[in-house]
Each structure stands twice: as structure tokens, then as C-alpha cells.
Amino acid sequence: MAAATVTKLGRSLQQRRTFINARVKWVGDPYLDEAVQREKNLKQLLSLKDRIVSSPSKSLPLSSLSLLKPLVNLHVTAAAFLQKHPSVFATFQPSRSLPLHVRLTPQALDLHKEEETIHLSAPHRNATVQRLAKLLMLTGAGSLPLYVVDRFRFDLGLPHDYVTSLICDYPDYFEVIEVNDRLNGGKTLALSLTSPRKSLAVSEMERRESIINGSRVQKGLHIRYSMNFPKGYELEKRVKNWLEQWQDLPYISPYENAFHLGSYSDQAEKWAVAVLHELLYLLISKKTETENVLCLGEYLGFGTRLKKALVHHPGIFYMSHKIRTQTVVLREGYHKEFLIQKHPLMGMRHRYLYLMSRSGRVKKRDYVPGVKRSNQSVDAQNS
């Protein structure tokens, strides 16, 4: 009888929602905004770079680049983008009978070769495979449509051709299968784990707690999250009180299935935060576009819960509105605008950013035919 009473009490706690009807305000964080802003155009530049070097001649006809604009998510014409970055891209004419082509400058090609060396190193490949496996394990089913994985490719640090250059070399980990797409009901290709990897089902929060306590990972611990707020940020007293109670709730691993919890209960929100925290921690940049997170959440059946968790916990997650999109940043991953955990690929990206910054004004010799050189076009590129 006593056991039954405890069970009913536990179920009651799992279904209880105590979050008060108070507005959790958004306050800009200039440091994290800078971390996002400084990478403006970087993802698009690297995508274009990868397509150029993937060609056998390591170059592409200038006329073909217009077809790449939607594929690499350019906000200006491809020709205008090239003109803006003459330190990275160079135009040349292979022969009088052939049209203008685009290739990397020697400096950019050197950076690309160094980047390739990192991608090909055994320690990096093994670490990348484990991060990717953990992402799939967050789904519960151990698989994700390739179009969802592609959304996280850049932030996970995967090579642009990861299916052929990485996945195929780890058949004991991965396989590509056909599945029913939960979002549109059709058939789609998915990346799947060949077998469960229980040894990887330990979250970063659990790993830290086991180190602090000097013991094995245990379930149901009352793990509290690190909270960091920008200078001058103040929570309402009733929100602060709720947050203290919420922090004391048992921690549920993101690798567990907790969909049995009441959708809007405090405990379910703590699990949703665990999923978000682990997802962002797996990314080498400790950030990603909010739309990527929401797409993953919709596919997994979280509905609006991940979005609400982001809004309710500005001390854990920061949402930046820079560079024409919304980016969610894991606060604990940064000290001011600098990443605390310096991944080798992030070091390479900073070197690409430095090379981009050297472009300066476009000189006459760097003129790309078909691009009007006017103040208006320059302003459009900087918007």
C-alpha cells in the first residue's frame, strides 16, 4: 500500500506544472552576439570553397556559380560574393576558347589543405564518429533523415562529403537506410546506427557529476545547470524562486525516453533542457541556428517544448538575432566572445575569417564581369 502511495506521488510530481505566468525577458549579450556576428558569410564561403575544390580541376566556370546560389545559401549573387572576397577566390581564363573560371587563391588553398589534414587524422575521425553517433542516440530510435543531419553538418564539424568520406569507412557504426519521413509521410534516406552504443549514452552533465563525486554515472541525480546572465540582467523574484525549485528536480538523461512525462510538466521541461544542452555541447561551435533545433524537435515529436525551454532558460541558452537569422548559443561554452573548448576546426575557421578580412576593398584587377560596382551593391552585401 505504501509503495502504491509513493508511486502515485511520483506520478503527480511528473505531471505537475508550476512555471508561473511571468514574462522571461530577452536581453542582448554583446559578447555572444559578437561570437555569432564575426562568422558572417563564413559558412557560405566554406560551402562554395568545398564545391570548387571538389571539381577535378579545382575550379568551376564562373557562369555555373549562379546555380549554386540556393545550394550554399548566398544572399547576393555568386559573382558579387566572389568579388567581395578576392583574398579567397580568384578568376582566370584557362584558355582563349574557354569562359572565365573561379579557383581558390594560393593562401586559401593552403588553408584548405590544412583543414583536410585535420579531417583525415585518425583521432579527429574517431571523435567525429562518436559525436555523430551520440546525435543519433538522442533520437531514441538511433536514426535521423539525412536532411536533418545535413542541417547540423557544419556545426558538428563533419566534412562536406561526410557520407562518402566518413560514414562509409565505419560500417560497424553507421548505415544509410530508407525510412518513412515523420514530417511529410514520404520515403527518405536516413543515417542509422547499426547497433546500440550504450557506452556512449552518457551526457556531458552526467560525466561532470561523476567526476565531481568520484563515482560511476548514476540515474536520478539532482544535477543543477550552470547559469550565466549578461551584466545587469535580473529575473523577476517569482521566476527566480521557480528556477531554484526546478534546478532541484531529478536530472533525466537526454539518452532516455521520457515522453511519458506530462508534456507541460516541470520535469518534462528539465528533460527537454537536458536534450538541448547535450545537443549544443556535441557541436564544435557550441551554437547552431535555432531553426535547426526546432526542425529536430519537430521530427522527434517535442512540438513546442524545445522552443519553450529556450525561452524559459536564458541563463543556459542565449538566442542571438545577428547575421540575418536566429542562433542559439550554449552560454557555458563561451567566456565572453571566445570559445572555451578550442576545437582544431574552429581554429581553422578563425584563420579563414582572418583571410576574409584581408580582402578589403575590391581592386580593379579583381573585377568580376557581370557585377555592377556601386555603393548600392556594396551596401546590399553588408546588410
| Residue 213, pLDDT score | 78
320 in any annotated domain: yes
Query: Which pLDDT score, from 0 to 100, does residue 5 have?
Result: 34
Q: Which pLDDT score is estimated for 348? A: 98
- Which amino acid appears at position 376 of this protein? Q
Residue span of the structural domain in which 216 resides: 115-346
Average pLDDT over residues 192-211: 93
* 275, 44, 314, 232: CA torsion to nearest 10: 160
Number of domains in the chain: 1
Determine, yes or no, domain membership for 304.
yes
Residue 198: inside a domain = yes
Cβ contacts of residue 182 below 8 Å, gap of 6+? 299, 301
**Residue 219, domain member (yes or no):** yes
Range in 11-25, 31-45, 173-187, 229-243 with the lowest mean pLDDT = 11-25
- pLDDT given for residue 367 in this prediction: 47
What's the grid cell of residue 105? 587563391
> Is residue 277 domain-resident?
yes
- Residue 362 pLDDT more than 60? no
Mean pLDDT along residues 281-286:
98
pTM of the shown model = 0.88
CB count in 10 Å sphere of residue 43:
17
Segment 71-110, tens digit of pLDDT: 888 888 888 899 999 999 999 998 888 889 999 999 999 9
Which of 27-41, 66-80, 354-368 is least confident? 354-368
Distance between CA atoms of residues 217 and 221, nearest Å: 9
pLDDT at residue number 371 = 44
> Would you say residue 162 lies in a domain?
yes
Q: Would 126 be classed as within a structural domain?
A: yes
**For residue 293, what are the contacts with CB-CB under 8 A and spacing of at least 6?**
276, 279, 306, 310, 328
CB neighbours of residue 29 within 10 Å: 24
Please name which of 50, 93, 48 lies closest in space to residue 66, comparing C-alpha atoms. Answer: 48
